[in-house]
Amino acid sequence: MPEAVPSLTAPHRLQYTYKRSTGPVLGRFFGGLRDGRILGVRRKDGSVMVPPKEYDPDTGEALGELVEVGTAGVVKSWAWVSHPREKQPLGRPFAYALVQLDGADTPLLHAVDAGGDERRMTTGMRVRARFAAERPGGIRDIECFEPTDEPAKGKAKPLAESELPAPVELVKVPVQLDYLYSAGQAASRFLRGLAEGKLLGQRCPVDGKVYCPTRGACAEHGVPTAGEIVEVKDRGTIVSYSVVRVPSENIQVELPFAAVTILLDGADSTFTHVMSETKLEDVHMGMRVQAVWQPRETWTTSMKNIKYFKPSGEPDAPFDSYKDHL
């Protein structure tokens, strides 16, 4: 078994903006926030839930009677964040808190700005919402809560149809998470091979098949391929292809191009890459191809070292030689 190697690592960012339909209850809630008002929903027992829900969490009954609660309330619990993360509501130390607004019977999770001073925080303190200057409709239309002397207002106010805020139909929730991937043993070997212009595969100890690239396992037998390392050729046979007409920032060739599945000579697993230096209509199953590498001085531990594949000019491979890989 080859000796363990340090793993290569690479940063990875998962980034996506969720666009969420709000529905009739949350839509009005966010519409309220946009107008600087806070709405709750009345449950069958008369109590008021903020934020409102479409269904009673205890009984499952549908809820829809929206009421207006105060924009100030009482801290029921709090957690002091002395080192805020970038995405969190405040850039200086602050508290996450459960705030029970005047007229509400359940607390709302939000942030409290106590001027960065934990000593100003107590359970039972009164706070009021500080609304954001720009309010697209969403929970962050409230920037945070802040301490206040404002007296309690009492009951929730029933709302006539005409007093309901216009609903926000859609909220946008951007998600961005940063990771540091480690490739692990098998992929690190493969990527280091690429930096030397080599395609390294590993052999399944059960049936001797060569996998390139490998995640470190033969998926068929469920065993590690941590044994023999095998260099495979940078030429092979197209076993399948498709024509791509949509752009991707990860692909360096011009549109349209053929994405191909290649059985590299010496490998028993297929490899996906792109074709160039050929007419699209000439690409076909059984076509012999070879890798076109970037200039040697630019090689790194990356698949991008191979620019694309091009026809090798050899005669087509017989169908039997690749039929098991379709």
Partner 1 sequence: MRDVAVISFSQAKSVRREADRNEVEILMPVVHEARDRAGLDKRVDFICSGSSDYLAGQSFAFVSGLDSVGAWPPISESHVEADGAWALYEAWVKIQMGYADTALVYGFGKPSMGDLPEVLALQLDPYTATPLWPDAVSIAALQARICLEQGVVTERQMAEVAVRDRRNAKGNRFAQLAGDFEVEKLLAEPYLVSPLRRYDCSPISDGASAMVIASGEVARKVCKNPAWITGFAHIAEPQELGVRDLTRSRSTEIAAEKAGVGKGRVDVAEIYGPFTHQELLVEKALGLDRSVKVNPSGGALAANPIMAAGLTRIGEAARAISEGGARRAVAHATSGPCLQQNLVCVLEG
Which amino acid does the sequence have at 109?
A: L
Nearest-angstrom CA–CA distance, 140 and 253: 42
Q: How far apart are CA 107 and CA 109, in angstroms?
A: 7
Q: Is cis: bond before 174, omega within 30 of 0?
A: no
Report the interface residues with partner 1, using CB under 8 A.
4-7, 9, 12, 14, 18, 20, 22, 26, 30, 49-51, 53, 57-58, 76-82, 85, 87-89, 96-98, 106-111, 118, 123, 138-140, 171, 173, 175, 177-188, 215-224
Cα separation of 35 and 26, whole Å? 14
Distance CA 122, CA 215 (A): 53
Residue with Cβ nearer partner 1 (31 or 138):
138
Burial of 82 (0-12, 13-18, 19+ CB in 10 A): exposed
Nearer of residues 139 and 303 to partner 1, judged by Cβ:
139
Which is nearer to partner 1, 96 or 293 (by Cβ)? 96
Q: Please, which residue, 179 or 256, has the CB nearer to partner 1?
A: 179
How far is residue 136's CA from residue 166's CA, in Å, rounded to a whole number?
A: 13
Identity of the residue, 49 or 260, whose beta carbon is nearer to partner 1 in the bound complex: 49
Give the chain's end-to-end CA distance (angstroms, integer). 31
